[in-house]
Amino acid sequence: MNTVQSADGTTIAYDRLGEGEPLILVGGSFSERAHPTMTQLAEELAPHFTVFNYDRRGRGDSGDAAEYAVEREIEDLAALIAEAGGSARVFGLSAGGALAFKAAAAGLDITQIAVYDPPYVVDESGPRPPAGFTARLAELSASGKRAEAVEFFMTEGMGAPAEAVAGMKFAPFWAGLEALAHTLPYDTTIVGDDFALPAEELASVTAPVFVVHGGEADAWLKASAQAVTDALPDARRHALAGQGIAVDPAVLAPELKNFFAN
């Protein structure tokens, strides 16, 4: 494990694998660098790039601050880019992709961006989070109601059926979801309470972008991927056959390698 200090003094932990041009992986909701998706993706890409797989603030071995602001997460990414040599390619998973877009729009030296399942709601096929969604998530997690926060996020934010989420509570991975409940308001702050497409922000991103979504994804995520592609100045979209939200890194990695290598 390596660490770097962010601008506010927060310690950001990361693993560095491979040799070549730098590539930073940005996790999404319920994701930290030790998550199997992130570790396998890093290993798959390490033969081609120097991969920085990091814990976003509040997760894993990284520190946090008393108050959250998107600007601090952009500074975290800036610190990693500086550690990588001053510029880098970036891959963002779900809300991590939204963070990558904000970082690029803020002027960070990101040479290429790839995202998987950007989670914006652009038509009536998607979930519509209730008013005060982020504040309610923060209230639940801060009061120790972590299970309720996870359930609220998955049903009201991601549109998962309540009965499916209820069944997840008996799965071995549920404890890991609860452990990251306090970071869910971070992601919804990045994406926005209403999950609206940030068209003006996307229009300012000049780096080439590769927008990937699962071929088996819900209709709203497919629509989001198309809308993101249309809003960006230099982007192309790709549907990954047979994949959904839980993407197989062995299937995704070759597509990312081909994009980032060109």
When computed from its CA atoms, the radius of gyration of the chain, rounded to whole angstroms, is: 17
> Sign (positive/negative) of CA torsion 170, 173, 177, 178?
positive
Task: 153-156: list long-range contacts, CB under 8 Å, 24+ apart.
Answer: 153/29, 153/181, 153/184, 153/188, 156/127, 156/129, 156/130
DSSP per residue, 229-262: HHHSSSEEEEEETT--SS--HHHHHHHHHHHHT-
Give the C-alpha separation, 17 to 35, whole Å. Answer: 16
What's the pLDDT tens digit per position in 130-144? 999 999 999 999 999
**pLDDT, averaged across the chain:** 95
**160 has pLDDT over 90:** no
What's the pLDDT score for residue 124? 87
Give the C-alpha separation, 220 to 122, whole Å. Answer: 7
**127 has pLDDT over 90:** no
What's the pLDDT tens digit per position in 210-256? 999 999 988 999 999 999 999 999 999 999 999 998 899 999 999 99
